[in-house]
Amino acid sequence: MSLYAIGDLHLHFQSPLKAKRQIKEKIWKNHEEVFRKNCAALLTPEDTLVLVGDHSWGRNLEECAEDLAYIAALPGRKILLRGNHDMFWDANKTEQLNARFAGRLLFLQNNYFPYGDYALVGSKGHCFEGPFWLDRRGRVVDWDEEAEQRSKKLTERELQRLRLSFEAARADGYRWFIVFLHYPPTSILEEESGFTAMAEEYGAEQLIYAHCHGESRFHDSIEGEKNGVRYSLVSGDYRRWMPLKILD
């Protein structure tokens, strides 16, 4: 039994592609088939795969039906986190999604899922993504402060959701935690954030995130061990469609 994670499949079996990167870059060519084969070779029915958001370009459940069926057909137990592009997932209707896909897919928000002695907790997360203004050397010299204020509100809401997830697990007696966020835990301006503080507060062992696409974004946030928490980026193009093993 092992725990794996990957994010940002951006499936589009029934919907038009909306990202130029996905049309142009080689890594995205036939990625559904590459990922399906990798999962078939790697995962057993006893394993758990956490998909860390941005599952589908579909705008509603009908447009996502084939994408979600593709995920459901992968081996093992599949837990989904909400990404910024997951329009099919109404933040207030996670329970309905869990009822509708019972036995096929699990949706993680304001709840948690057990994995052995661990609780898998998470939220979409949020971090400020600019606009930034750079100097000739590519260093950030200024940014849009109004956008930063708006971003802070979204960050606060996601911090509340993450705390709900931690508290639900703690109320059931869990003391070991793995945290999943779709967004990176820190912006390119930050060394730490409310998310890193919360991971440390609850003594989480690992924090897994995605959302960063392309070479220029892969190192936007924390990687490796910091203050007792191990941080890993698992966006699909970064992982070259190979899920990362999180725990045995």
Main-chain phi, psi angles of 166, to 5 degrees: -60, -45
Nearer to Fe ion, 2 or 22 (CB): 22
Among 2, 14, 84, 151, binds Fe ion (CB under 5 A): 84
Q: Does 83 bind Fe ion (CB under 5 A)?
A: yes
202 in Cβ contact with 194 (< 8 Å): no
Amino acid identity, position 21: R
- Number of residues counted as binding Fe ion (CB under 5 A): 5
Nearer to Fe ion, 54 or 63 (CB): 54
Q: Does 158 bind Fe ion (CB under 5 A)?
A: no
Q: Interacting stretch for Fe ion, rule CB under 5 A, among 34-42, 67-75, 79-87, 131-139?
A: 79-87
Nearer to Fe ion, 22 or 38 (CB): 22
231 in Cβ contact with 185 (< 8 Å): yes
Structure tokens at 183: 């967004």
- List binders of Fe ion among 211-240 (CB under 5 A): 211
Q: Does 126 bind Fe ion (CB under 5 A)?
A: no
| Strand 140-143, strand 132-134: pairing | antiparallel
Q: Does 124 bind Fe ion (CB under 5 A)?
A: no
Tell me the Ramachandran region of residue 169: left when phi exceeds 0, alpha when psi lies from -120 to 50, beta otherwise.
alpha
Spacing of C-alpha 48 from chain mean position? 15
Nearer to Fe ion, 15 or 84 (CB): 84
